[in-house]
Chain A
Amino acid sequence: AQTVTQSQPEMSVQEAETVTLSCTYDTSESDYYLFWYKQPPSRQMILVIRQEAYKQQNATENRFSVNFQKAAKSFSLKISDSQLGDAAMYFCAYRSATNQFYFGTGTSLTVIP
């Protein structure tokens, strides 16, 4: 089974600064998808960004970008110009070829004013 590892249980960043959240995964598949989801205190899971494994170009969504290293099985999330509203739990997720989703243990991000 695929595993997703987030080695940073907690992170903090100053407002307007940049922070990078780490994620690694283990798989033998060549075709898959990776995601970052955000879970604010409301507990609603929100999709932040996604990456198709077959694409070499790193995905970008406004202030959010990823560093996808397929050979290293690494998928980090960079948040630029951090805002107070970015404070949340962030989950890295892997979607397998059989459409199963696997989630990491999460990173709690604090944004310091």
Chain B
Amino acid sequence: GAVVSQHPSRVICKSGTSVKIECRSLDFQATTMFWYRQFPKKSLMLMATSNEGSKATYEQGVEKDKFLINHASLTLSTLTVTSAHPEDSSFYICSARALQGVEAFFGQGTRLTVV
């Protein structure tokens, strides 16, 4: 299957700072990328959907000013957690889908810890 690379895999940041997570599709053009948050032993909670060149569509309850999503190219989307707080600590996963693609391919996930 197609490869999606997510970086970093783990990050620790101080409360109040911002952290950026990158999601890259390595061998296909990802017209749509999804960002999820996953709590321990829980399902994936969709945070937002981004289409290349357009503003992201956020799910209800997700603060767009806190979780900034940029999808400036067909191979890269970024999620920036601004003014991070300990409650933002979680596992964040991106997935990407090609224009004519059926399934979504997932990155390895990022474990964010805010101290």
Chain A: residues with CB nearer than 8 A to chain B?
33, 35, 37, 42-47, 50, 52, 89, 91, 95, 99-106, 108
What CA separation (Å) do A45 and B23 show in the bound complex? 14
Return chain A residues, CB-CB under 8 Å to B93.
43, 45
Q: Which of B34, B41, B103, B108 contacts A35 (CB 8 A)?
A: B103
Given A33-B103, A43-B91, A45-B106, is A91 in contact with B43 using a C-beta cutoff of 8 Å? Answer: yes
**Which 9 A-B residue pairings sit nearest by Cβ, starting from the closest?**
A45-B106, A105-B43, A43-B109, A103-B44, A103-B43, A44-B108, A106-B43, A47-B103, A50-B103
A to B CB contacts below 8 Å, 18 in the list: A35-B103, A37-B106, A42-B108, A43-B91, A43-B108, A43-B109, A45-B93, A45-B109, A46-B106, A91-B43, A91-B44, A99-B32, A101-B34, A101-B95, A105-B43, A106-B41, A106-B42, A108-B41
Number of residues from B at the complex interface, CB < 8 A:
21
| Minimum C-beta distance from B82 to chain A (A) | 24
The answer to whether A105 touches B42 (Cβ under 8 A) is yes
| Minimum C-beta distance from A29 to chain B (A) | 15
Main secondary structure of the interface of A (DSSP, over half): strand
What CA separation (Å) do A102 and B42 show in the bound complex? 14
Chain B: residues with CB nearer than 8 A to chain A?
1, 32, 34, 38, 41-44, 46, 49, 91, 93, 95, 97, 102-106, 108-109
The answer to whether A45 touches B95 (Cβ under 8 A) is yes
Among A33, A35, A100, find the residue whose CB has the most chain B CB atoms closer than 10 A. A100
Return chain A residues, CB-CB under 8 Å to B104.
95, 101
Query: Closest A-chain residue to B101, C-beta based?
Result: A99
| Minimum C-beta distance from B50 to chain A (A) | 12
Query: Closest A-chain residue to B57, C-beta based?
Result: A100
Sample of 12 more A-B contacts, CB < 8 Å, known A44-B106, A44-B108, A101-B34:
A43-B108, A43-B109, A44-B109, A45-B93, A47-B1, A47-B105, A91-B44, A95-B103, A100-B49, A103-B44, A104-B43, A106-B43
